Chains A and B, each alone.
Chain A
Amino acid sequence: MYSVLSAQHYTDADIFAEEQRKIFSTLWIFAGCANLINQPDAFLTRTIADVPIVIQNFAGNIKAFENQCLHRQAPLQQETYGRRPLACRYHGWSYDDIGHIKNIPHQAALYQFNPDAQHRLCLREFALEIIGNLIFINLNQNPMPIAQQFTDAFREQLAEVSAHFSDQMIHSDISAAYNWKLNFENVLDYNHVAFVHPRSFKPLLSSAVTSVATEVTPPISDTSLSTLSFATESAIKIESQPWHTLVERYKDSDSYYNFFIYPNVNFISLGGLVFLIQQYEPISPGKTNVIFSLMTAHEKQKISAMPAILWGHLKGEKRVLDEDIVLLEALQKSLHAGSQRAYHGAYESQLQRVAEIYSRIMDTPT
């Protein structure tokens, strides 16, 4: 059957702007890993729907604010992950855990704000939920309950798997010239692996998928938002490495765990030993920033070679992504106003569901 989405959904600037409002400013969006900001003054930064965000640890209290100083709009924090108090590097304004001004250097001499006016200044705060070690942000001032987007069972799965994250993570941004939706659809489309990754990824799979799953969970008739985020598990070949016995593995089987977190995250784990969070950050209709965050399972003891292990795995995952990028960039380039809609088969029921629910969200009046 034909997809409800047209080529314009992947190329049109107005539709992209609408997505930024109705999807990325309305849904819960993954923003980073809590285990990396578990120390006082630790922080992470992220941009969601063009809004710069800082997530800061205030003595154990994790808060999300707009990452923009109220004085002259400079970013309060600049690194992706780091550790320093919430203070602007431009003129030294600092902030407390409710976003109020903590201190303005030379206030009396240079600024001469009256105390009431200064007290009214406050950073814009955003709703934040932490599931296990995964931090989600909602930009909406009246955010939907997170249970509406992720079922209780799914949140429990995310909490359980992310509890195994190590405290070291390798991180990189990769720019790609295609629409963000193409990447989320691509990871839902398990049939592409044999064609696009015949040497890099397919050999790891224990068996090729050549038939449609007889039981689709959740049922295809269910088109609630929470059905778009779910987990799967399939057998995979894992070559044993000495360090595997030195980490607290998630579960205990040679499985490929796949967590689809709508709208723009694919979180995978190889055997519960290595975890990769891929996020597809929309930049423009034809540009996506693919954010890679990779870590191993938590170390039982210090593994000196961990940086080399992380770097080796990151390079391997990037080579797989590059194979997707070549194809998806060509796909994006070929789209035009008169392109026919995608024609889905039975195995693509999840893609159909994504398209239908996406359309419903986009058709909802603001």
Chain B
Amino acid sequence: MTQRHTLVLIGCGNIFETIAFNSLTFLSNLGSSDFEDLKLIRLDSTDVAVIIANEQLALLNPATTAVFTAIDQNAMNYARLEIYGRARILGFKSKTLIHPSAIVAADSKVGENCWIGAGAVVSSGVKIGNNTFIGAHTRLDYGVNISANCWLGAGSSIGNHTSIGQHVVIGADINIGSAIQIGRHCSIDIPGHYLKSLAEGTFIDALFPATAHIYTSKSSHKVFTKIEVGN
């Protein structure tokens, strides 16, 4: 007899509420009847999230529980990574959730604890790393590589064979061109078309008229090359 499992949705913010509001739809869309129950752990904020998560997850059985961590982009997705990582350390499996209206190519590879929003199109050959959230109506063209712990805002698009490094935040309605590289720890939050590669630690934000950069003593402007995709 197959053991029935619980899916725990933990987090806060827009994605959390979207999933919670449509929980029955998502449970059925997981593609099996393994999950009989959805449990919500709603965090008030990300400030003490890891403490609350620890307390709540300690009450659950990792053998019969899978966890999906849903926290919107906050601190370049480190807030979500902290909870997702904690759940994995505690032995919980992570699930990826795909909105029923999203189109995901059969040969694409999507990591764990990923979210693919409503109406998103994930083309053939796309790789998406763990803990990356793809917003509603986002378009990922052929061969795109998105690393772990990223956030792509609603309505964004990524051109063919473009690579995105870890912990990148791409805001809503941003179009990234083809065959370019966005280094890790970049944040692009001014809507528009971006056709040139960005070095790691580049910040394009309405708060700053000129681009902000992180420099290190080792060297300037490394562009990432590695893509990690979970099992």
Contact check, B209 vs A171: say whether CB atoms are below 8 A apart: no
Residues of A contacting B: mostly: mixed
Contact check, B207 vs A307: say whether CB atoms are below 8 A apart: no
Q: Say which size band chain A's interface belongs to.
A: 20 to 34
Contact check, A36 vs B215: say whether CB atoms are below 8 A apart: yes
Contact check, B213 vs A307: say whether CB atoms are below 8 A apart: no
Contact check, A39 vs B215: say whether CB atoms are below 8 A apart: no
Number of interface residues of B (CB under 8 A): 24
Contact check, B207 vs A308: say whether CB atoms are below 8 A apart: no
Question: How far does the Cβ of B209 sit from chain A's closest Cβ, in whole Å?
Answer: 6
Give the complex CA separation of A35 and B215 in angstroms.
11
Give the complex CA separation of A305 and B166 in angstroms.
11
Select which of B75, B187, B216, B220 is within 8 A of A167 by beta carbon: B216
Contact check, A307 vs B210: say whether CB atoms are below 8 A apart: no
Chain B residues, Cβ within 8 Å of A312: 75
A305-B76, A312-B75 known; A39 and B213 CB under 8 Å?
Answer: no
- In the complex formed, the residue of B with least CB distance to A173 is B210
Select which of B75, B185, B207 is within 8 A of A318 by beta carbon: B207
Contact check, A305 vs B78: say whether CB atoms are below 8 A apart: yes
- In the complex formed, the residue of A with least CB distance to B75 is A308
Chain B residues, Cβ within 8 Å of A171: 212-215
Contact with A along B196-210 (1 / 0, CB 8 A): 000001010101111
Give the complex CA separation of A307 and B211 in angstroms.
15
Give the complex CA separation of A362 and B102 in angstroms.
68
Contact with B along A264-298 (1 / 0, CB 8 A): 00000000000000000000000000001000000
Contact check, A170 vs B220: say whether CB atoms are below 8 A apart: no
Contact with B along A305-344 (1 / 0, CB 8 A): 1011111101100110010000000000000000000000
Q: Top 8 A-B pairs ranked by shortest CB distance?
A: A172-B212, A307-B185, A167-B217, A82-B220, A308-B76, A81-B215, A308-B75, A305-B78
A residues with CB within 8 A of B? 35-39, 42, 79-83, 167-175, 292, 304-305, 307-312, 314-315, 318-319, 322
B residues with CB within 8 A of A? 75-76, 78, 167, 185, 187, 201, 203, 205, 207-221
Given A304-B78, A315-B207, 18 extra CB contacts under 8 A: A37-B217, A81-B213, A81-B220, A82-B220, A82-B221, A167-B216, A168-B215, A169-B214, A169-B216, A170-B201, A170-B214, A171-B212, A172-B208, A175-B209, A305-B75, A307-B167, A314-B212, A315-B205
List 25 interface pairs A-B (beta carbons < 8 Å), by A numbering. Answer: A36-B217, A39-B217, A81-B213, A82-B221, A168-B216, A169-B214, A169-B216, A170-B213, A170-B214, A171-B212, A171-B213, A171-B214, A171-B215, A172-B208, A172-B210, A174-B208, A305-B75, A307-B76, A307-B201, A307-B214, A308-B78, A311-B76, A311-B203, A315-B207, A322-B207
